[in-house]
Amino acid sequence: MIVTVQAVAFYVLSAVIIAAAIAVVRARNIFYAGLSLCVVLTGVAGIFLTLKAEFLAGMQVLIYAGAVIVLILFAIMLTQGIHRFENDPHNGMQLLALLSVAAISSLTAFILLTHKWPEPVRKAVIPTWESFNTLEIGRALVRDFALPFELISLLLLAAVLGAIMIARRKSEKGNGDDGN
């Protein structure tokens, strides 16, 4: 059996993701759980890279590991209850959780080991991972999906402008200044 660099990278990234996911669940501080979640999502982007899905890896980093985690961490930092669960976050459900995990893991292992998996069939109409790269997705956005892409961008722009106007009106009403 020949071990490739891609297989080694996959297993290393999988181990990092599993360790970080355990850290998310076991963290006593919610801020550290959020940082561990960032490691998990970045590791998933690495898995996408091992599958030669560069576009998905980039979107994973930009959207999830970037924007969503920053939003979650800012929300955590701006709340007053960040240290609320540092003493004892357990609620007596550890045994039930352990039994649930053992049952689901056993069922999954049983299905994976006993099922006869069919060989994949490659037809000319089924695109391969190698045909989906960032250049082709960009071309499709500009050539085939230009109108829907532009309509969605205008809709998002209108939503942002509407939110700014609503927030501005509320702040003008709330400051107690009548304008006289």
Q: Rounded to an integer, what distance in angstroms lies between the CA atom of residue 31 and that of residue 76? A: 7
Is the distance from CB of 26 to CB of 7 less than 8 angstroms?
no
pTM of the model: 0.56
Q: Which of 73, 55, 76 is nearest to 135 (CA)?
A: 55
- Degrees to nearest 5, angle at CA 137 with 132 and 142: 155
Task: Give yes or no for residue 45 having a pLDDT over 60.
Answer: yes
- Name, in order, each residue with C-beta under 8 angstroms of 58's C-beta and a sequence gap of 6 or more: 45, 134
pLDDT of residue 18: 95
Q: How confident is the model at residue 68 (pLDDT cuts 50, 70, 90)?
A: confident
Q: How confident is the model at residue 44 (pLDDT cuts 50, 70, 90)?
A: very high
pLDDT of residue 76: 76
pLDDT, mean over the chain: 80
Q: How confident is the model at residue 64 (pLDDT cuts 50, 70, 90)?
A: confident
Put residue 42 in one of left, alpha, beta given phi > 0 → left and psi -120 to 50 → alpha.
alpha
Is the distance from CB of 63 to CB of 22 less than 8 angstroms?
no
Task: Give yes or no for residue 88 having a pLDDT over 60.
Answer: no
Q: How confident is the model at residue 109 (pLDDT cuts 50, 70, 90)?
A: very high
pLDDT of residue 66: 84
- On the 0-12 / 13-18 / 19+ scale of CB atoms within 10 A, 137 is middle
Q: How confident is the model at residue 81 (pLDDT cuts 50, 70, 90)?
A: low
Task: Give yes or no for residue 84 having a pLDDT over 80.
Answer: no
DSSP string, the chain: -PPPHHHHHHHHHHHHHHHHHHHHHH-SSHHHHHHHHHHHHHHHHHHHHHTT-HHHHHHIIIIIIIIIHHHHHHHHHHSS-TTTTSS----S-HHHHHHHHHHHHHHHHHHHHHS-PPPP---TTSPPGGG--HHHHHHHHHHTSHHHHHHHHHHHHHHHHHHHHHHHHHHHHHT-----
How many residues are listed for the chain in this entry? 180
pLDDT of residue 27: 87
Per-residue pLDDT tens for 142-180? 888 888 888 888 988 888 888 778 777 766 776 655 554
Averaged pLDDT, 131-150: 78
